[in-house]
Amino acid sequence: MKSPIIQCQQLNHVYSDKPALCNVNFELDAGDPIGLVGPNGAGKTTLLSILSGFLRPTSGTVRLFGHPPGTAQLNGKVSALPQDARLDPSFTLTEQLFFYARLQGMTGQQATLEASRVLEEFALKDAAHEKPPVLSHGMAKRAAIAQALIGNPSLVLLDEPTAGLDPVNVRTVRAVIAEQSSTTTFIISSHDLTELDRLCRQILLLENGSLQTEKIRTDEQQTASRFITLQMEACPALEVIAKLKVLYGVLQVTNPQKNEFIVEYNPDLQPNMDQQLMQTIHTNHWQYRQLSHGKSLEEKLFFRDGNGTKN
């Protein structure tokens, strides 16, 4: 029987009388990247810190691969990108990554190759012999992510991996995660829902220190209708809504943001709604930007009544 890689039971953490996590229970299996989302102060970093062994929970139990976090048995199996952690300013990137690889049990030769590999993956080969103080924010961030991938760990916890990175580097990080996700389970905490939407099929939603599950479950049970998200170029919103609403099979059209429309439809009545929408766009000479099935993660998590109002 496949055992979960993470087990949290009755997890609580309190910072000087202020609760950060309240009775968090969950189990995660190895697989696709898992997103960890929630507003500021929801407890995401606290949860990742406990999973990484940086913080002891006030109460409750945590097991990674059957072992408590921070134990030597997890060396090389679990890795993390802690939020705001910086590398040692006294040593070059290569020296530090070499040292980390050695700590993971690699020989000197293996450690040299591995340090070089992860730096190359994040386009940092030219900066390999630089010390952290001379690196830009983006380079330092990529170096910090690179250290997390030394030795191909089975579980990688990433706290805000793309925060502060430019789009090119975000794409680099995304590509590496996507490529390694076949062998490594990533847990990614981020405010960038678009990014998580692209990478993750599972989401943990934390709000006020508690895992929110009920609202999402209700949403999942709505199998009778489907959604299509339509992003348009500048267009007459009222006219678009009016014309889409009258299409066969459409149940509701909402306009949560400027030039973005969510079409709720009955797939039994109109299974080819996407083609019908494309036809309407073409007929009316509108310019569209993107059409995608389903609602965006932002809509699913925070604006579930479909009217752009937060639950």
Partner 1 sequence: MVITIYPKLQFTYTRFFSGQSCYKTSLNREAKIMQPGFFNHLLLISLFELKRAFATRKGMLSLITFAVVWYFILLYPLRFAAELLVQEKGLKQDFGFLDFIGFGSIQHWSIPEFGVFWHFALIIFPMLSITLAADQTSSDRERGTLRFIVMRSSRDRVFFGRFAGVMVIQALLIGATAFSTFAMALYRDATLLSSALPNLLVLIVNLILVVLPFTAMMAALSAQVKSARQATVWAILIWTFMTGIISGFAYYLPALAFLKLLIPGYQLSELTQLSGWQTLQLAYIPVLQGLILLAFGRWIMARQAL
List the interface residues with partner 1, window 209-228 (CB under 8 A).
211, 213, 216-217, 220
Name the residue among 202, 218, 230, 203 with its Cα closest to residue 293: 230
Per CB under 8 A, 282 contacts partner 1: no
Question: Which range, of 83-91, 234-242, 244-252, 263-271, touches partner 1 by CB under 8 A?
Answer: 83-91
Per CB under 8 A, 151 contacts partner 1: yes
Question: Which range, of 134-142, 169-177, 263-271, 303-311, touches partner 1 by CB under 8 A?
Answer: 169-177
297 contacts: CB under 8 Å, gap ≥ 6:
35, 37, 193, 194, 196, 197, 203
From 43, 44, 79, 165, residue interacting with partner 1 (rule: CB under 8 A) = 79
Rounded to a whole number of angstroms, the CA Rg of the chain reads 23
Per CB under 8 A, 302 contacts partner 1: no
Shortest Cβ 28–partner 1 spacing (Å): 6
From 45, 49, 169, 190, residue interacting with partner 1 (rule: CB under 8 A) = 49
- Count CB-CB contacts under 10 A for residue 217: 9
Shortest Cβ 291–partner 1 spacing (Å): 5
Q: What is the DSSP letter of 11?
A: E
From 128, 178, 237, 241, residue interacting with partner 1 (rule: CB under 8 A) = 178
From 88, 166, 239, 268, residue interacting with partner 1 (rule: CB under 8 A) = 88
Shortest Cβ 195–partner 1 spacing (Å): 14
Q: What values do phi and psi take at 191, rounded to 5?
A: -95, -10
How far apart are alpha carbons 207 and 13 in whole angstroms?
Answer: 14
Per CB under 8 A, 278 contacts partner 1: yes
Per CB under 8 A, 102 contacts partner 1: yes
Name the residue among 49, 104, 186 with its Cα closest to residue 96: 104
- Of all residues in the chain, what percent are helix, strand and coil, respectively (each to 5)? 35, 25, 40
- Is-contact 203 190, C-beta < 8 A? no
Shortest Cβ 287–partner 1 spacing (Å): 9
- Is-contact 195 162, C-beta < 8 A? yes
Shortest Cβ 245–partner 1 spacing (Å): 21
Per CB under 8 A, 128 contacts partner 1: no
Per CB under 8 A, 273 contacts partner 1: no
